[in-house]
């Protein structure tokens, strides 16, 4: 570890949460460094003691990344505050956190890790990391609909409340009511809202790939550690 690390990076390196979430913890006064309440500019010296809500944390040495097939009906948080979370699928003793979200009505691939820095890099929207989905709609799919989806759709960014046009994406028709879509953004319920703009109702949404990681061969509720080759390729893509 460097001799001096910013507090949000230190918390992220512990696998506790992302840097953005760490900033919120600091702002709420829940973080101390060597017994002193931390501020946004606080740096941790080598050997320093960092606590969150009075519990000491340390950077993770054995970093792990897992693929997880989230079933329908579960929120992508570890918490059950908004419904049943995914914590029940994580074996006891494994401190893993979800990278990104997948809405309750959707299923498919999520990444879980104890590597907060990797989490930050994957969540960085500027990176343009691909996510691939299979979508089943109530209405019959037309080539015109897919072409308009690819060009970008005007939706509201839930984080800012502003109208934005989604980034260009790729689509491919699979059957009368099913298509494949690859996007590089991760806006809240993005694909459902994109389809809704054109009057299409999504009946089933399955995420099958994030970057080089695929859900192929996995069953709902299954969790598996990524192989060394897959992890190396993933880090190289970042």
Query: Phi/psi zone of residue 16: left (φ > 0), alpha (ψ -120 to 50 degrees), beta?
Result: alpha
Q: How far is CA 132 from the centre of its chain?
A: 13
Q: Is residue 100 classed as helix, strand or coil in its secondary structure?
A: coil
Helix, strand, coil distribution of the chain in percent, nearest 5: 25, 30, 45
Query: What are the tokens at 38?
Result: 């931390």
Cα 135 off chain centre by: 19
Instruction: State both tokens at 227.
Output: 């192989």
Q: Pick the catalytic residue: 23, 34, 53, 103?
A: 103
In 156-218, where does DSSP find H-type helix?
A: 190-197
Whether 103 sits among the annotated catalytic residues: the reply is yes
Nearest to 155 by CA among 113, 206, 126, 190: 190
Q: What pairs with residue 165 in β-bridges? A: 154
Question: By C-alpha distance, which of 139, 88, 131 is closest to 106?
Answer: 131
What are the residue numbers of the active site?
A: 103
């Amino acid at each position: 570890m460097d001799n001096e690390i910013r507090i949000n990076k230190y918390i992220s390196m512990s696998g506790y949460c992302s840097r953005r979430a760490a900033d919120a913890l600091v702002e709420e006064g829940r973080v101390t460094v060597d017994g002193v309440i931390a501020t946004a500019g606080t740096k941790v010296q080598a050997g320093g003691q960092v606590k969150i809500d009075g519990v000491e944390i340390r950077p993770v040495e054995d970093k792990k990344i897992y693929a997880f097939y989230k079933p329908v009906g579960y929120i992508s948080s570890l918490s059950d505050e908004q419904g049943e979370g995914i914590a029940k699928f994580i074996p006891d003793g494994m401190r893993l956190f979800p990278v990104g979200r997948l809405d309750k009505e959707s299923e498919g691939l999520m990444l879980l890790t104890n590597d907060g820095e990797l989490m930050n890099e994957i969540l960085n929207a500027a990176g343009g990391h691909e996510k691939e989905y299979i979508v089943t709609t109530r209405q019959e799919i037309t080539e015109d609909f897919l072409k308009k989806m690819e060009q970008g759709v005007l939706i509201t960014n839930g984080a800012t409340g502003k109208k934005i046009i989604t980034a260009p994406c790729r689509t491919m028709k699979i059957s009368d009511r099913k298509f494949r879509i690859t996007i590089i953004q991760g806006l809240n319920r993005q694909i459902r809202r994109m389809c809704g703009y054109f009057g299409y109702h999504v009946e089933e949404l399955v995420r099958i790939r994030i970057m080089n990681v695929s859900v192929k061969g996995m069953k709902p509720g299954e969790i598996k550690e990524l192989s060394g080759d897959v992890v190396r390729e993933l880090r190289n893509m970042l």
